Amino acid sequence: MSGAAPRPLGDRLLEAVLVLSLLALLVASRRLFPSLGGGAGTIASVGILLLGGTVVANLLELVGLPHLTGYLLAGVAAGPYVLNLVNHRAVEELAPVNSLALSLIALAGGAELRLASLRTGLRSLGWATLWQNLLVMVVLAAVFVAARPLLPFLRGVPTVGVVGVGLVWGVMAVTRSPSAVLGILSQTRAKGPLARFTLNFVMTSDVVVVVLLAMAMTVARPLILPGSELSLSAVEELGVEVLGSISVGTTIGLFLAIYLRLVGGGLVVLLIALGLVFTEVFDYLHFDWLLIFMTAGFVVQNLSKQGERFVESIDSMGEIVYVIFFGVAGAHLDLPVLRTLWPVALLFAASRGITTWLASRVASRYAADPPAIRSWGWAGLVSQAGLALGIAATIQSEFPAFGAGLGALAVATVAMNEMVGPVLFKAALDRCGETRGEMEESEAAEGREAFEP
């Protein structure tokens, strides 16, 4: 954990050798006896991801890389395209566990949003929301249309249809990864203007993206499908979904606050039950369960006195949650697709990164941001994860003619952003002196200076 003293290199290497030996035995046994392990495959997969992710993260920490990178790499290595310790079936069976992890991350994210912090950074948040969403969406839509000759799945689609698809791709490009930001902040215990700004922006951006997606789909559908008519029904459905999700989230948040005050114990079990059961229920009722859990965490933090206890309870599960979530994400990564589409995916990932940096500079100039946000405010906005893939899945179901190709391209692009983003954000926090290690060194230096004649 980030609060503990650094472990000796020898201990880390010994741990790595032992775990790698166990994994080698497991690989050999699966090769020699392929019929073994069918019933316990899911449990074994969780154990493999936990062991491998923790060891790789501890080793990468020696060179300053974030734990999330280790979890992702361990998932890729254990996944169906490398060692096949976690096969396709196991990845599918881990979906409920992954939903549980994501619901806990959403609860933690909502609980980290404090009204006082939001009021203080409202100017920065407003300008960043405007420029990041507007500029990134427009530029990436234009890049998508310009890259049409490189996209074979768009052959036969008229120019007007490509513009419609590009508009939806632009919305997908403005999605961020709250899970990556929270994972880095959980590891580093970073405090300061950059950490606060990134958290506030990323946690509130999901709501903006959901609204933008409904509007973009309303405009794009008649462009892509000439027989379709412009309909505002999607926007109306969105309003019901968002308001309903916020109402349900507020109710759950008040229930959790009352439970903490009157009972207090057993909260971890209650949260696990919420994450495993209610995600399916909310999905069936067409509510946005991520928004529900984020709202619940926000209510506990800001409308009750139980916020600190609530955050501590979630933090007690923090490392395990992130190992599972990003380990599964790594195992789910489709390496053959990435190998085929990496040049085009690199074009989109680089264009998005450059536009995010430019939008950050413009927004900081209008908001008169402090130096840390002005220089590094873009770094925490590069990561992408589940929401972008969810939008790609929506496009695939709406437009099956080219949806499969677009979905594959989305997976490849998100994979690049998912691998690079956490590294950039941790490096930015280190450069700004906001991580725990940097703050301790700074405080020690100040203490030495105080005693110098």
Residue 308, C-beta contacts closer than 8 angstroms, at least 6 positions apart: none
Residues 3-10 have a mean pLDDT of 57
Q: How confident is the model at residue 388 (pLDDT cuts 50, 70, 90)?
A: confident
DSSP annotation of 6:
P
Q: How far apart are the first and last CA of the chain?
A: 37
- Note whether 415 and 338 are within 8 A (CB): yes
Distance between CA atoms of residues 414 and 345, nearest Å: 8
pLDDT digits (tens, 9 = 90+) for 234-263: 667 777 888 888 899 999 999 999 988 888
- Fold held by 103-433: Na+/H+ antiporter like fold (1.20.1530)
Q: Say whether pLDDT at 36 is over 80.
A: no
At residue 339, φ and ψ (nearest 5 deg) are: -65, -35
Q: Say whether pLDDT at 416 is over 50.
A: yes
Report pTM: 0.81
pLDDT at 34: 57
Residues 57-76 have a mean pLDDT of 85
Residues 27-46 have a mean pLDDT of 61
pLDDT digits (tens, 9 = 90+) for 135-191: 999 999 999 999 999 888 888 888 898 998 899 899 989 999 888 898 898 888 888
C-alpha distance from residue 179 to each of 186, 326, 395, 403 (Å)? 10, 9, 23, 26
Q: How confident is the model at residue 450 (pLDDT cuts 50, 70, 90)?
A: very low
pLDDT at 32: 65
* Percent of the chain residues topping a pLDDT of 70: 87
Q: What's the burial of 304, exposed, middle or buried (CB within 10 Å: 0-12/13-18/19+)?
A: middle
Question: What value does the mean pLDDT of the chain take?
Answer: 82
* Percent of the chain residues topping a pLDDT of 90: 25
From 255-264, 360-369, 431-440, the region with the lowest mean pLDDT: 431-440
Query: Long-range pairs for 332-337 at CB < 8 Å and ≥24 separation?
Result: 332/75, 332/79, 332/91, 333/72, 333/75, 333/76, 333/79, 333/81, 333/411, 333/415, 334/81, 334/408, 334/411, 334/412, 335/76, 335/79, 335/81, 335/82, 336/81, 337/408, 337/411, 337/412
pLDDT at 353: 95
Q: Within its chain, how far is the Cα of 347 from the centroid? A: 21
Q: Say whether pLDDT at 76 is over 50.
A: yes
Q: How confident is the model at residue 444 (pLDDT cuts 50, 70, 90)?
A: very low
Structure tokens at 11: 């201990």
Q: How confident is the model at residue 442 (pLDDT cuts 50, 70, 90)?
A: very low
pLDDT at 29: 63
Higher pLDDT, 444 or 402: 402
Q: Say whether pLDDT at 116 is over 90.
A: no
Higher pLDDT, 447 or 121: 121
Distance between CA atoms of residues 151 and 264, nearest Å: 55
For 276-302, give one letter per residue: b (16+ CB within 10 A) or e.
Answer: eebbeebeeeebbbbbbbbbbbbbbbb
Domain extents for the chain?
9-93, 103-433
Q: Characterise 367 by phi-psi region: left (phi > 0), alpha (psi -120 to 50), beta (else).
A: alpha
| Helices 386-398, 400-431: inter-axial angle, 10-degree rounding | 170
Residues 389-403 have a mean pLDDT of 75
Residues 38-43 have a mean pLDDT of 57
pLDDT at 435: 85
- CA angle 62/63/67 to nearest 5° reads 70
Structure tokens at 259: 């439970």
Residue 275, C-beta contacts closer than 8 angstroms, at least 6 positions apart: 99, 100, 101, 103, 104, 293
* Helical residues (DSSP H) of 62-156, grouped into ranges: 67-78, 88-93, 95-112, 115-120, 122-146
Nearest to 72 by CA among 407, 269, 279, 338: 338
pLDDT digits (tens, 9 = 90+) for 277-322: 788 788 777 788 888 888 999 999 998 888 888 888 887 776 788 8
